[in-house]
Amino acid sequence: MSVTAIIPAYNEEKTIGEILKVVCDVSLIEDIIVISDGSWDNTTKIAKGFGIRVIELKENVGKGGAINAGLKECYSENILLLDADLIGLKKSHLYDLIYPVVLNQADMTVGIFKKGRAITDIAQKIAPNLSGQRVVKKSILDQIEDLDYVRYGIEVALTIHVNKYSYNVKEVYLDEITHLTKEEKLGFTHGFLSRLKMYKDILKVLGKSVKH
């Protein structure tokens, strides 16, 4: 039933502290690893202030590479994956995500925003497979090759993998939670360009799956 929280973070000083306050207060989580993915703001400093494990990557390697770095330092049976830009995270959200997996009712849970903000609720309703809030058995993550390669397409790669092998996946609605959009964090121009890069990574993963 062991659970490790792995939180990739790239310049998330505005939100990482509030997220860690919640995660650190969940008794089912025995270990917490924040991967600072080439951050240059106070993300690393804030995370270290919680007395948890922090991995500092000198260069930005993308979400897949950051999560892979955390997995190499993790020995729990179950992995909680969380985005570092969440707003409104509560302990109840985490328990709802964790329990089905640790009780073997599901191999993976996927968190879907509900009653948060229209912009994020609609986005996740249209594309729930892009949700970064998940609990998954580590054995499944270990089966996925080239996590470094997929970068920001990791959620799509994970969804394709669990569907291919018919793992049991449960969607969990997370009430009154949202996250900062890329445009809000980086400004419209830089945020839009960052979004395009994310879509490029997703299309790369989709293209690779079609070839196979």
Can you give the residue ranges of every domain in the chain?
Answer: 3-180
Q: How many CA atoms lie within 13 A of 77 on its CB side?
A: 9
Asked if 159 contacts 131 with a C-beta cutoff of 8 angstroms, the reply is no
Pairing of strands 31-37, 3-9: parallel
Higher pLDDT, 125 or 158: 158
Task: Evaluate whether the domain defined by 3-180 bears CATH number 3.40.50.2300.
Answer: no
pLDDT band for position 85 (cuts 50, 70, 90) = very high
Higher pLDDT, 11 or 122: 11
Mean pLDDT of 167-171: 96
pLDDT band for position 155 (cuts 50, 70, 90) = confident
Q: Which DSSP letter does residue 136 get?
A: E
What lies within 8 Å, CB to CB, of 135 at 6+ separation is 3, 78, 79, 80, 81, 97, 98, 100, 101, 102, 108, 109
Q: How many helices and strands in the chain, by DSSP H and E?
A: 10, 9
- For 90-135, write each residue's pLDDT tens digit: 999 999 999 999 999 999 999 998 865 555 545 555 455 678 899 9
